[in-house]
Amino acid sequence: MRVEPFGVDSFLHVVKRGARGELIIGDELDRKRFARLLYYLNDEYRSDFWEEDVRRVAAFERPKHWPERKPLVKIVAWTLMPNHFHLLLQEIQDGGVSRFMQSLCGSMSRHFNEKYDEHGSLFQGAYRSRTIATDRYLRWAMSYVLVKNVFELYPGGYSRAIKEFDRAWKWGTEVYQHSSLKDAVSLQGSPIVDAVVIREVFKSAADFKACSQDMLLGRRGGADEAITFE
C-alpha cells in the first residue's frame, strides 16, 4: 500500500506499522492512550500540555479553557493492532490527514521512547494510504479495517474466527475494546468516530455483519480492488 493522490472529501485507508515489525504499544495503558490520541489530537488546536489538561476532565471531555473543537479529519473507523494500526479517514480540509498523522505518530513515538527508555523511530517510515473511490469499496474497507483485523486477534487465530464467525463477532464487539467495531455495529458512532458516514454506508447492523461475512469468506459482491489492502 502506498500513499495515493487524494483531496478534500476523499476517504482513505491508512496504515502505520512499527519499525521492523516491532510493537507500537507496550501495555493496556498504551492502548487506552491511543484512543485518547485519536480524539484529542484530531483538532486544529494543540496544547503542549494537553495530557495534563485532560487529566482533570472525564474521558473524551474537552477542557473548558480550550477553544471550540475543529477536527482535522473525519475518523470513520479504527483498529489498533500490536505492531500497527488501521484508520479509515476522510479528508475534510487541505492537509488535514497529514497534520493529524504527524501529530498522532509523533506523540506515540515520544511517549513510547520516554516510557520504555527506547531511542529512534517507533514507526516504519511514512504512513501508507489507499484512496477509496466508490461506495462499494467503502463498505468493503470498513469490514476489512474493523472485522478482518479484529478477527486476527481472536483467541485461536483468524482461521478459527472464520469458522466460529458468530462467536468471534460477539467477542469483537463485546470483548476487544481497541477498535471502533462496536460503534459501527451500533450505528451510533462515538466521540472519536463520526456516525453519519456509518449510517450512510450500512442500512443496519445486520447489513454491516452480512457485508463483513461476505468479505471474509471471499464472496462476490464487494469491491474487487478492496480484497487486497496491503
Residue 37, exposed/middle/buried by CB under 10 A (0-12, 13-18, 19+)?
buried
Distance of alpha carbon 6 from the chain centroid: 18
- The residue segments making up the domain with residue 15 are 11-129
CATH number of the CATH domain containing 87:
3.30.70.1290
**176 belongs to a structural domain:** yes
Confidence of residue 189 (pLDDT cuts 50, 70, 90): confident
Where is the domain boundary, 97, 129, 161?
129
Domain identity same for 124 and 86: yes
Domain identity same for 45 and 74: yes
Where is the domain boundary, 129, 149, 176?
129
**3 belongs to a structural domain:** no
Where is the domain boundary, 129, 159, 175?
129
Domain count for the chain = 2
Confidence of residue 5 (pLDDT cuts 50, 70, 90): low
- Mean pLDDT value of segment 42-49: 93
- Mean pLDDT value of segment 173-202: 93
Domain identity same for 119 and 145: no
At residue 219, the pLDDT reads 62
Q: Please report how the helices 205-216 and 135-143 are oriented relative to each other, as an axis angle in degrees rounded to 10.
A: 80
Does 111 score more than 60 pLDDT? yes
Does 85 score more than 50 pLDDT? yes
Domain identity same for 148 and 179: yes
> From the CA atom positions of the chain, what is the Rg in Å?
17
- Mean pLDDT value of segment 204-212: 95
Domain identity same for 35 and 97: yes
Residue 146, exposed/middle/buried by CB under 10 A (0-12, 13-18, 19+)?
buried
Domain identity same for 16 and 120: yes
At residue 225, the pLDDT reads 45
**195 belongs to a structural domain:** yes
Domain identity same for 121 and 169: no
**Of the ranges 71-75, 123-127, 148-152, 169-173, which one carries the lowest mean pLDDT score?**
123-127
120-137 tens-digit pLDDT: 889 998 889 999 999 999
Confidence of residue 1 (pLDDT cuts 50, 70, 90): very low
- Nearest alpha carbon to residue 10 among 75, 92, 72, 70: 92
**2 belongs to a structural domain:** no
Confidence of residue 224 (pLDDT cuts 50, 70, 90): very low
Query: Is pTM, for the whole model, over 0.85?
Result: yes
